[in-house]
Amino acid sequence: MAFGTGTKQGGENGRTVGGALRAAGRVALWALVALLLIEGVSGVLAPPPQQGAAVDRSEASDPATSAFAVSFARVYLSGASPQELSPLLAPGVDVPPFSGTGIGVEQAEVAGIDDLGAREAIVTVACALDDARILYLAVPIVRASAGEVAAQGVPALVAGAAGVGEPVEAPGPLAGPDASAIADLVRRFLPVYLSAPSAQELSYLLTPGAAVTPPGGGLEVTDVPSVKQLGNGEGPRRTVVAEARVRDSLSGSSFGLAYRLEVTRSEGRWYVERVEGALS
C-alpha cells in the first residue's frame, strides 16, 4: 500500500512539473513573437538610413537652364533681331541689333556653369561653327521659377568656361577723377584681348602676375560705346562693365558683346587684373 501510494504521488508531481514547464515555454514563445513584432513595426516606422547628404542643387544651374543657354547662344549668333530675342530676355533688358547675315552654328553644348546664387548663373556655351571655329559664349542667366528662364543681357566671348563671381546688378557711371583713365584702359584692352594671338600681347595692360588668355575666334572690336562700373566706389579696385561692338571678319556680321573686367590702380596707372567669365 505504501509503495502504491508513493508511485501515484510521484506521477502527479511529474505531471505538475511538466505542465509548469510547458506553460513557461508558451510564455517564452509568445514573448519572442511579441518582440519580433515590435522590432518589425519599428523597422517599418523608422526613417530609412541616410545614404549621404542630399545634393543642394541651384535652380539656376539645372538642365532646363542649360538647355535655354544653348538655345539662346544659337539664336543670338544666327543674327536674330532684338524683336526676335525679346521673348528670351529678362524684362527691361535691351540688346543692340545684330547686323549681317549671322554666324552659322553647327553644334552647341554647355562647357561650364558658374552659379552666382539667387537663381542667377553664367552658363558658358561652346559653339562649333560651320567654318570649323569654336566660340565660347558666356550667357548671363536668371531663373524666376520653374519654367521661367531668361537671359540678363548679351553674352561675352570668352576663352573657356565661365568664372564670373559677381552678382548681376545695374552698372552706373565711372566714379571719381580716375573715370577717364579707366575708360581709356578698357577701350585699349578689349581690341587687343579679342585679336591677340597670345597672352604676351596683353602683358603691358595687365596687373603684374595676372594671367588672361585671349579667346581668339577671328573677331575684332569696332567700337566700345559704353564703360560703366558696378557700385559707386572711387577706390583703386573696380569692377567695370563694358559694351563692345565686334565684327566677324569671315562672315562680315557685326554684333554686341558685354564684358566684366576687374581693374586696379598701381603706381599711378590702371591695369586689367581679370576678365570675369573667362578662364584666367
Tens digits of residue pLDDT in 75-125: 999 988 888 888 999 888 888 878 878 898 988 999 888 888 888 889 999
d(CA 253, CA 246) in angstroms, rounded, equals: 8
Of residues 229 and 55, more confidence is placed in 229
Does domain 179-276 fall under CATH 3.10.450.540? My reply is: yes
Q: Three cell numbers at 259?
A: 564684358
* Beta strand pairing call for 156-158 and 148-151: unpaired
The pLDDT score that the predictor gives to residue 252 is 87
The pLDDT score that the predictor gives to residue 59 is 57
The pLDDT score that the predictor gives to residue 269 is 94
* φ/ψ (deg, to 5) at 245: -100, 125
The pLDDT score that the predictor gives to residue 197 is 83
Question: Is 50 exceeded by the pLDDT of residue 250?
Answer: yes
- The mean pLDDT value of the chain amounts to 79
Of residues 145 and 220, more confidence is placed in 220
Q: What is the pTM of this model?
A: 0.53
Question: Is 80 exceeded by the pLDDT of residue 273?
Answer: yes
d(CA 93, CA 113) in angstroms, rounded, equals: 22
- Contacting residues for 177 by C-beta, under 8 A, at least 6 apart: 234
Query: In the chain, how long is the greatest CA-to-CA distance?
Result: 134
Instruction: Read off the pLDDT of each residue in 131-157 and give the average, rounded to a whole number.
Output: 86
Instruction: Read off the pLDDT of each residue in 200-218 and give the average, rounded to a whole number.
Output: 87
Range from 62-76, 99-113, 148-162 carrying the lowest mean pLDDT = 148-162
Question: Is 80 exceeded by the pLDDT of residue 10?
Answer: no
The pLDDT score that the predictor gives to residue 77 is 92
Question: Is 60 exceeded by the pLDDT of residue 47?
Answer: no
d(CA 85, CA 241) in angstroms, rounded, equals: 21
* Fold matches, 59-158 and 179-276: yes
Instruction: Read off the pLDDT of each residue in 23-36 and give the average, rounded to a whole number.
Output: 58
Question: Is 70 exceeded by the pLDDT of residue 55?
Answer: no
Of residues 126 and 30, more confidence is placed in 126
Going by pLDDT thresholds of 50, 70 and 90, the confidence category of residue 235 is very high
Range from 64-78, 166-180, 185-199 carrying the lowest mean pLDDT = 166-180
Question: Is 70 exceeded by the pLDDT of residue 51?
Answer: no
What secondary structure letter does DSSP report for 235? Answer: S
d(CA 27, CA 13) in angstroms, rounded, equals: 21
Instruction: Read off the pLDDT of each residue in 148-155 and give the average, rounded to a whole number.
Output: 89
What's the CATH class of domain 59-158? alpha beta
* φ/ψ (deg, to 5) at 9: -65, -40
Range from 39-43, 72-76, 196-200, 273-277 carrying the lowest mean pLDDT = 39-43
Of residues 14 and 135, more confidence is placed in 135
Q: How far is CA 118 from each of CA 46, 109, 145, rounded to the nearest angstrom?
A: 35, 24, 11
The pLDDT score that the predictor gives to residue 4 is 46
Question: Domain map of the chain by residue range?
Answer: 59-158, 179-276
